[in-house]
Amino acid sequence: MKKIEAIIRPERLDVVKEALADAGYLGMTVSEVKGRGVQGGIVERYRGREFVVDLLPKIKIEMVVKEEDVDKVIDIICENAKTGKPGDGKIFVLPVEKVVRVRTKEEGREAI
């Protein structure tokens, strides 16, 4: 099993979520986060003054999937989160040692 953490633009969440659901990937945790990457932030003007906003709002999607599904999930996220501009996000894949469903105590693949 692998944990996929995807950091994407907030405005792309609904499209990504729908595409994942259409492919049968329903379970996920979504968090509002702030961050920056290579673009380093943006400069905004308010009443003639410049302000640097270096931590931009992002969405973090966390999912645990079977190892053989990782590439498919990554493809779905990339296809639906991409705008072609800097700041589209990143995807991280981490190993998962154990999963336990709290309600039934099922473990492993059955608990996903």
**Tell me, what CATH number does 94's domain have?**
3.30.70.120
**Number of domains comprising the chain:** 1
Could you list the residue range(s) of the whole structural domain that residue 91 is in? 2-111
Strand, helix or coil for residue 75: helix
Model confidence pLDDT, tens digit, residues 10-49: 999 999 999 999 999 999 999 999 988 876 767 778 888 8
Sign of the CA dihedral with 70 first, then 24, 76, and 56 last: negative
- What sections of the chain are H helices per DSSP? 13-22, 70-81
Q: What is the mean pLDDT of residues 2-8?
A: 98
Tokens of 1: 């099993």
Question: pTM score, two decimals?
Answer: 0.86
Report d(CA 78, CA 91) in Å as an integer: 9
In this prediction, residue 77 carries a pLDDT of 98
In this prediction, residue 33 carries a pLDDT of 97
